[in-house]
Amino acid sequence: MCRWLAYSGSPIMLEELLYKPAHSLIDQSRHARLGVETTNGDGFGVGWYPDGHQDGTAEPAVFRAVGPAWSDRNLHELAHCVRSPLFLAHIRASTGTAVQQTNCHPFRYGRWLWLHNGAISDFPVLKRDLALAVDASLYPYIEGSTDSELMFYLALTFGLRDDTPGAVERMAGFVEAVAAGHGVTDPLQMTVAVSDGERLWAFRYSTCRASRSLFFSTSVQALRALHPDNPVLHRVSDETRIIVSEPLGDLPGAWNPVPESCYALVRDGHDSIHMFQPAAP
């Protein structure tokens, strides 16, 4: 059970979201409110697209480490000096796999980033069949041992780079099909963020239709109308969008749940919500 956030908007320092909010991601590493576990201390990671390259051609940088985020000094330094228009951050609570850098999110392939909260049930039982379905040209890039990374490589295999939502739907459908073959029920729990540097998708789905929490931020214009005297809202740009496992603060009206079995797409400062439907690959 993990926590994550994804940001898209005018370039900001990472610390603005990782450290400064009342219930920032770093605060959630010790005091998550909505998760199964309150502690997310099994490693962390942040991936960011460079400022000045919003054309989607630049590869993102990734910083990942195995200790708890709350005491990591390098993360604190980085968050204070890195500015980005699009970044994803994750704090991990392992569901059994090893605490190691290659199991920390986000995972990267070329200019794609992927992170996940949730789990595949009975993953040790299903892992081999899932791994065998990964395209042979992609297989060597799998470095860790998590279900999350394998879901990424399955989605890449099923066309993530050409049809992102469709590929994630096929990945989910494939996991459910393999699980059915092994008699595993309710196999998939996932909130997933994925980006190519231009677009940001956030998926909320679970086989049992009781998915982990996921929220997206209200449009800044609407929030300014609600809270005309809030100075923060005048500093951030109109196209700011934040998607989070749990809200970063208590500002009324600021956070909206992503509906069950849906995904959000953020692009060019606009967002939209779409249905998510697992499919056969």
Q: Which residues bind a copy of itself (CB under 8 A)?
A: 30, 37-39, 41-42, 50, 61-68, 71, 73-74, 77-78, 80-82, 94, 97-102, 124-125, 127-128, 131-132, 134, 136, 139-140, 142-145
Between residues 156 and 258, which has the closer beta carbon with respect to a copy of itself? 156
- Which helix (H) or strand (E) segment is 64 a member of? strand 61-65
Between residues 103 and 217, which has the closer beta carbon with respect to a copy of itself? 103
CB of 216 to a copy of itself, least distance (A): 28
Between residues 44 and 276, which has the closer beta carbon with respect to a copy of itself? 44
Q: What are phi and psi of 273, to 5 degrees?
A: -115, 135
Identify which of 227, 261, 222, 263 has the alpha carbon closest to the alpha carbon of residue 240: 222
CB of 47 to a copy of itself, least distance (A): 9
- Which helix (H) or strand (E) segment is 204 a member of? strand 199-206
* Contact of 251 with 227, CB cutoff 8 Å: yes
CB of 15 to a copy of itself, least distance (A): 12
CB of 128 to a copy of itself, least distance (A): 4
CB of 63 to a copy of itself, least distance (A): 5
Between residues 5 and 66, which has the closer beta carbon with respect to a copy of itself? 66
For residue 106, say if its preceding peptide bond is cis, omega within 30 degrees of 0.
yes
> Which residues lie closer than 8 Å to 44 by C-beta, 6 or more apart?
29, 64, 65, 68, 69, 72, 75, 89, 90, 91, 92, 104
